[in-house]
Structure 1
Amino acid sequence: MYVSAHEYAQALAAAWCDDRLDQISEAPTGGDSLAPLLATLIDDWCEGQRGLAFAWRECLLLAARDERYAGTAQRWRLLWADFWNDACARLGIPQVAMLTERVFDGESYMHLLRWRRSVDRAGLEEICRAWGNWMHGRLAGPSPWREMARECALRSAPLPELRDETAERIAAAAAAVLARMGVGGVTHRAVAAEAGLTLGVVSHKFRTSADLLGSAFEMTYLQSVPSEAIAQAAGTDGDVHSMLDRMDSLPSTENFRLAMAELMMAAMRDPALAPFAAQLRYLRGRTSRGVLQALVGRDRPVSVADAALFSSFSVGQGNAHAALSLADRQAAGRAELEMLLGFLNRG
């Protein structure tokens, strides 16, 4: 029954796609048409079709843990691949369709996180304009709305707590439960079992469910990419192939991807987690910034918008390749990144 509900959501999404393609049947051709259309479609999808947008994301999470949803998740991927192939063909730029699909996936995910509506919409416009620049071989440049939002998110972020060894152990256990079972599985009892501690100890260190989830988020982010990997990446400036080799050698981040997806979905819906929304949306890209800077070279400064855009592109890749083996994910990701750099480095 649940699979049937997702298939119905896909049918409604396909109708939305057909309607939008009809609306751009006489679209102005050329790369300059892409950015405003991308921003419009992301906002239209996330605001006007929010229920369908959630259905898409929930299906991807279900498929990661239950093979019964694998076929349905693949049909979502094919739906968006066909849509962006058609849309970019109508703009006369079919060569950017697959890469744009990745950005649509990642940035539409972020746009479901609501903070301040006007700022969110302006920041989305800046990101999509940056994508248009990338396709012309230029970096993003200034993004005042996103930079302002980032400063606000930094001020709202709580200062790191000084934790003892037991609290760190509980936080690590919470992150493991989150990745394996989702937000609903992060209970005090489940985390206590994971950590090998009593329920009373866990409840004493983290009194509320929001506190426990917050610790899972913090630990998940800290575990995402070892800091030394970024230092090594920075040392490969100007050597793209060496940089890609280093990225391929990093540990799999699939558990991190699932844990972050669960937290983001919760922050989109649960008022108790609303403070995370601005931080998840506007503080992302700290890891991506170092990687992108190494890929494009030190003589081309990477901005806040560039880092966020590269993060969205990476999120889209993770979703697109989720069903593949680790080796195939690395190969597909590498090929797409080389294609992206072919655009970005041609300026």
Structure 2
Amino acid sequence: MQSNAASFSARDRLIATASELLATGGLRSVTARALAELTGQSASAVNYHFAGREGLLAATFEAAATQAAEYRGAWASSLAAAPPREAFSGWYAAVILQRVAAAPAFLVLREMRHDAARSSAHRGLARRELEASDAFWRQAVAAFQLPPGAAEACADFAEAILGIHGGAPDYPDQTAWLIETVHRHCARLGGARGPTRGWDGWRQLARARSGLAERAEARLAGGAGRIAAAAAEVLGREGLAGLTHRAVAAEVGLSLAAVSGAFPTRAGLVRAAFDHLIASIHTVRSGVVPDPGVRRPIAELAVEMAEALFDADGAAPPGLLALDELLTAAIREPDLRRDAEDLRASRGENSATLLLRMNHATDPVDGLDAHILSIVATGAMRSAYALEPSARRAWLAKRLTTSLAALFG
């Protein structure tokens, strides 16, 4: 029989190792073999300490939530001095940059929210994490004397930014782009309407130099395009764990040999899904097409966005889930990071049209505003994963109404 100290140490090592695997490889990487190899424990250790893999995942998600709470607590302590409103932009940028740099715990929680989109296993913890995050941002917004609705916009922006800018930004322009976006976001929350600081230059530069859309279309000529579309569909529906040659073959209606011949490796399937989304970037968006020339209330458009992001059963469109999965993969796999740049830079194509049709006081709006709207909508969608499917649409519509009014109303 192991001593309590030894038992705790072994249990702790399993949680730490599972956290690393989740952050670097996602749910599919947390296997008995990988845990045994990395911890030096037997394959039965997970059953002994956690009564199975689900118990280990629950404990790992709880540990990540505790780390996130400590992170928020450290930043909340800086609010005790009642900082001036003008200091919000600098404080907020520091919070976001440190959150990005301290990515592992948040990537684990991101994996938990992904799982909550499709499974109820960890949805309760996802809901508690959402509530804790919202409480932190309400405290911050109150301390800086910002409008109450800014809390939701901050919470959802912070939730989405990891996937959009790819973990710790690994190129100088990515950091500059992130800071530029944060400053515009803060300006809008602070009440700036009309022309304001920020030129949308880094996003435009990323699009101009990537050339990925043209290369993606060339790689998808002929039957490869059908297979890539099927790979994206499977990825959105089943996640990275379900993206196999057999699943893609069944989806596209081809033989396993045909799919394996076109894309021999699993990494090739992931890249094919990337190519499909890059080539069709102008259609893989919120799905909202406002009436041309008609200005409409924010609340009406928020309802339409919620209906586009979740169907009547509370399921998200496979294309959007696939986009999210691929941006997460780009955080973990360096050779995909530049591929993801075009996906990041193209965010907001439909959002720009949406802003032009919105009744708001922010005239004129530009591509950077549209990028921010897309980020906030993505974060709100991920937050809604924590709810039961039947409640997602209504909750999201209310959430977006509040956030968009704080930013552009």
TM-score category of the 2 structures, normalised to the smaller one: 0.7 to 0.9
Give the aligned partner of residue 256 of structure 1.
Answer: 319
Give the aligned partner of residue 257 of structure 2.
Answer: 200
Q: Is the 8 A contact 1:173 1:195 kept in 2?
A: yes
How far, CA to CA, are the matches of 2:240 and 2:304 in structure 1?
32
Give the aligned partner of residue 22 of structure 1.
Answer: 77
SS at match of 2:385: coil
TM-score by length of 2: 0.74
2:107 maps to a residue whose letter is F
1:91 maps to a residue whose letter is F
Q: Is the 8 A contact 2:166 2:330 kept in 1?
A: no
The answer to whether the aligner puts 1:306 opposite 2:369 as a matched pair is yes
> Structure 2: which 5+ runs fail to align?
1-55
Q: How many residues align?
A: 343
Counterparts of 1:232-247 in structure 2 under 5 Å? 232-233=289-290, 235-240=292-297, 243-244=301-302, 246-247=304-305
Structure in which a larger fraction of residues adopt helix: 1
2:350 maps to a residue whose letter is T
- Cα displacement string for residues 111-132 of structure 1 (whole angstroms, at most 9, x for unaligned residues): 3345544322221221111112
The range that moved more, 77-86 or 158-167, is 158-167
Q: Is the 8 A contact 2:228 2:273 kept in 1?
A: yes
SS at match of 1:160: helix
How far, CA to CA, are the matches of 2:145 and 2:291 in structure 1?
37
| Equivalent residue in structure 2 for 1:291, among 354, 357, 365 | 354
The answer to whether the aligner puts 1:267 opposite 2:330 as a matched pair is yes
Task: Give the CA deviation at 1:238.
Answer: 1.4
Task: Give the CA deviation at 1:63.
Answer: 1.8
The range that moved more, 212-221 or 182-191, is 212-221
| Equivalent residue in structure 2 for 1:175, among 219, 223, 232 | 232
How far, CA to CA, are the matches of 1:2 and 1:97 in structure 2?
30
2:91 maps to a residue whose letter is L
Task: Give the CA deviation at 1:58.
Answer: 0.9
Give the aligned partner of residue 340 of structure 2.
Answer: 277
How far, CA to CA, are the matches of 2:249 and 2:227 in structure 1?
7
How far, CA to CA, are the matches of 2:212 and 2:365 in structure 1?
22
Compute the RMSD of aligned alpha carbons.
Answer: 3.1
The range that moved more, 13-22 or 282-291, is 282-291
| Equivalent residue in structure 1 for 2:152, among 98, 111, 121 | 98
Alpha carbons of structure 1 residues 118 and 210: separation in structure 2 relative to 1, 3 Å: same
Give the aligned partner of residue 66 of structure 2.
Answer: 11
The range that moved more, 9-18 or 59-68, is 59-68
How far, CA to CA, are the matches of 2:78 and 2:59 in structure 1?
29
| Equivalent residue in structure 1 for 2:177, among 98, 120, 123 | 123
- Cα displacement string for residues 69-102 of structure 1 (whole angstroms, at most 9, x for unaligned residues): 1112112212211111111122122512122111
The answer to whether the aligner puts 1:66 opposite 2:66 as a matched pair is no
Task: Give the CA deviation at 1:18.
Answer: 0.8
- Cα displacement string for residues 141-187 of structure 1 (whole angstroms, at most 9, x for unaligned residues): 51333333333334686251275664343223212211222123222
Larger radius of gyration: 2
TM-score by length of 1: 0.85
Q: Percent identity?
A: 27
Give the aligned partner of residue 405 of structure 2.
Answer: 342
Counterparts of 1:70-149 in structure 2 under 5 Å? 70-93=123-146, 95=148, 96-113=150-167, 116-135=170-189, 136-138=191-193, 141-149=198-206
Return structure 1 stretches of 4+ with deviation > 6 angstroms: none
Give the aligned partner of residue 330 of structure 1.
Answer: 393
